[in-house]
Amino acid sequence: MDNGPTWAAKLAQTIDHTLLKATATEQHIATLCAEAVQYGFATVCIHPVYVPLAAKWLSDTEVGVCTVVGFPLGTNTTGVKSFEAGAALADGADEVDMVLAVHALKNKRFDQVRSDIAAVVTAAERAPVKVILETCYLSKAEIQRACELAVDAGASFVKTSTGFGSGGATVEHVALMRQTVGEHIGVKASGGIRDGQTALAMIQAGANRLGCSAGVAIVSGLTPDGGPSEY
């Protein structure tokens, strides 16, 4: 009897299979795309320069193409971020992960933070925009404020980290983000998720999307009937 998707398959559907190293080659991206199709990941998450290739290779599959904007510091001007988002969509991207204007948040320029996100949301048209907060640099109060601003600006997700900061996703921060945004938008945990136990902990804390460079290892480490092999 078919009992439906295994835990591994369900978890795979939440994963943005990620490769954002500066040294990534076309062959690396080809492998990433092939793995995403094989394991049923939600998207591949790549730099804008590789969006046209990935969109071509994944055109007849269920795997989406996600790219990054204002990456990894978020210090680009709003005009640059907007242009980058629009160009990525024109090249075939399906989703955009933009980095929050952390500097503006730290300076308490909240209207600037909101308008920066809103401009990218507009440029991305109907494509989901995930706002990367880089939580390792923020206080709890700043995380909450950033989440509120992202919701106000029309973002589809809030995301913990770029993976290039001083720390990645934590269960505490994911839970706080989910508590703040409620069920209105998604929460993406990213950075430092390298095994099934950690991945499932993020899901249980409230994440409904995961950014992972170790997606294959994560889903391969799950037992056929359920949770990670460590359980």
Q: Which of 81, 94, 116, 159 is catalytic?
A: 159
Does some domain include residue 94? yes
Residue 108 designated active-site? no
Q: Which of 94, 97, 116, 130 is catalytic?
A: 97
Q: Which structural domain range is residue 127 located in?
A: 10-220
Does some domain include residue 230? no
Does some domain include residue 163? yes
Residue 106 designated active-site? no
Q: Which of 81, 91, 94, 188 is catalytic?
A: 188
State residue 8's pLDDT score: 87
Tell me the two tokens of residue 204: 């249980």
Does some domain include residue 15? yes
Does some domain include residue 5? no
Could you give the number of structural domains in the chain?
1
Residue 188 designated active-site? yes
Does some domain include residue 139? yes
What ranges make up the beta strands (E) of the chain? Answer: 15-19, 43-46, 64-69, 95-99, 129-132, 157-159, 186-190, 209-212
Give the chain's residues under pLDDT 70: 1-5, 222-231
Question: pLDDT digits over 81-108, tens only?
Answer: 999 999 999 999 999 999 999 999 999 9
Would you say 177 and 200 are in contact if contact means Cβ atoms under 8 Å apart?
A: no
State residue 4's pLDDT score: 54
* CATH number of the CATH domain containing 39: 3.20.20.70
